[in-house]
Amino acid sequence: MAHFWQAIRSGEWLTAARARDYSLILLGICALAAVGWIALSDGLIDRNGKPIGTDFASFYAAGSLVLDGRAGDVYNMAAHYAREQQIFGAAMPYYGWLYPPIFLLVATPLALMPYLPALAVWQIGTFALYLLVIGRIVRRMRGVAIGPVWLPIAAGFPAVFINLGHGQNGLLGAGLFGAALLALSARPVVSGVLFGLLAYKPQFALVVPVALLAAGQWRTVIATGITVMALVGITSLIFGADLWLAFAASTETSRKLLLEQGDVGFEKLQSVFAAVRMWGGGVPLAYAVQGVVSAAVVCGTAWTWRSAGDRDLKAALLVIATLLASPHVLDYDLVILGLAIAFATSAGFAGGFRDYEISLLAAAWIVPLLARGVAGVTGIPLGLLVLLALYVVTLRRAAWDRAAPAVSAHEIAQA
């Protein structure tokens, strides 16, 4: 038993070969399951009576309404649902459109194609972007010959399969977020444009601006603001400014139904807010606890980003904080956690791994596969607990690294 805990502490149990083999096994199982699920489907409808790609049906229906000159109906739930039924059949459940008009710039071109080719382009394109960005992160690892082992680990990350199964946009978000962080030091304006393109997920916008301001990245902040304003202007010209008013009105309904009442399922949400609600806490208490946690992770991240510490470590902390600060984080959103794992691994290879870091990164890799099921059966928010632990360990490492130069300077002075 002592040897077991020593292995967990040191992370020696997770060799590169094991990481590759575990990833390949999971990748193979999920690929076979996906092929079988599609083969058993009836046209566009799977065995559960849902469209293949589930949430992508909402994107496609919204885009098709725009192509018909009915952009104003995108935020009309009855009209949007009627279009989904027209495409997929009257028996399908409703998949709502919850995004700002910015995302119509993506959904509308996809709706020019038949549904299955559009879904394939969406899935393959966003998956390729995610892999490209992860590859860029790991290839920057200093003094490490990483080789091709990163590819099955990144592709086999369970959050990827959850995202692909839902036809969701987490892979796109991970690609844009990671590319923005990679470009930050050398191309701050490009980084700002990429951060601005993430405005289709406004619930993830709490921490990034604070971190950029704390780091004095003014060019990136200005570029982000200009990009967002340009997107608002472009969508207003194309779809009409009233569509933004319709979006603003729709947020109250989505907040009450999906977040506060948990129509989406509290076990699927990976936030502090959802955990409090799942445990029977009221809405005011859930917002209060979420507010405390959000403020804490924002402050910790801002403090870290003010320092001249390891860029990869700061990037990892920002990604984790972005997930923790939002009350509306679904398990497919955890695909951006892959960025944190990659950046934290890079920092570990550069400066050495501390106790439990390797095992915790392994837990973060596997937890999207388990989070929904464990929460549904036991009420334990496993995904949230891993996120909190990873944030604390990463912040602790940042604090140690920040203190190290001061300690070294003191030692030199004493000598």
CB 346 within 8 A of CB 141: yes
pLDDT at 405 over 60: no
pLDDT of residue 304: 95
pLDDT of residue 12: 86
pLDDT digits (tens, 9 = 90+) for 245-265: 999 988 888 888 888 888 888
pLDDT band of 406, cuts 50, 70, 90: very low
pLDDT at 346 over 70: yes
Least confident of 31-40, 136-145, 157-166, 349-358: 136-145
Token pair, residue 185, equals 């030091």
Distances (CA, A) of 114 to 44, 70, 73, 87: 11, 19, 21, 10
pLDDT band of 147, cuts 50, 70, 90: low
pLDDT of residue 407: 42
Sign of CA dihedral 42, 45, 48, 53: positive
pLDDT of residue 65: 97
pLDDT of residue 142: 56
Could you tell me the pTM of the whole model? 0.93
pLDDT digits (tens, 9 = 90+) for 287-338: 999 999 999 999 999 999 998 888 999 999 999 999 999 999 999 999 999 9
Q: What is the mean pLDDT of residues 98-107?
A: 96
pLDDT band of 409, cuts 50, 70, 90: very low
> Which has the higher per-residue pLDDT, 181 or 47?
181
Least confident of 129-138, 232-241, 369-378, 392-401: 392-401
Q: pLDDT over 70 for what percent of the chain?
A: 95
pLDDT of residue 13: 85
CB 135 within 8 A of CB 151: yes
CB 151 within 8 A of CB 196: no
pLDDT at 408 over 60: no
pLDDT of residue 415: 37
Which amino acid is residue 357, in one-letter code? E
To 10 degrees, what angle do helices 115-139 and 158-166 make? 160
pLDDT of residue 296: 97
Q: What are the residue ranges spanned by the domains of the chain?
A: 36-97, 98-402
pLDDT at 3 over 60: yes
pLDDT at 413 over 50: no
pLDDT at 58 over 60: yes
CB 102 within 8 A of CB 205: no
CB 312 within 8 A of CB 139: no
pLDDT digits (tens, 9 = 90+) for 196-207: 999 999 999 999
pLDDT of residue 404: 66
Rounded Cα distance between 80 and 314, Å, is 41
pLDDT at 414 over 80: no
Rounded Cα distance between 409 and 405, Å, is 6
Rounded Cα distance between 93 and 365, Å, is 31
Rounded Cα distance between 352 and 294, Å, is 29
Q: Identify which of 220, 215, 212, 225 has the alpha carbon closest to the alpha carbon of residue 192.
A: 220
Cβ atoms within 10 Å, residue 375:
24
- Output the average pLDDT for the chain: 91
Number of helices (H) and strands (E), helices first, in the chain?
19, 0
End-to-end CA distance of the chain: 44
pLDDT of residue 355: 85
Which amino acid is residue 404, in one-letter code? A
pLDDT of residue 38: 86
User: Which residue spans within 125-255 are E strands per DSSP?
Assistant: none
pLDDT of residue 145: 54
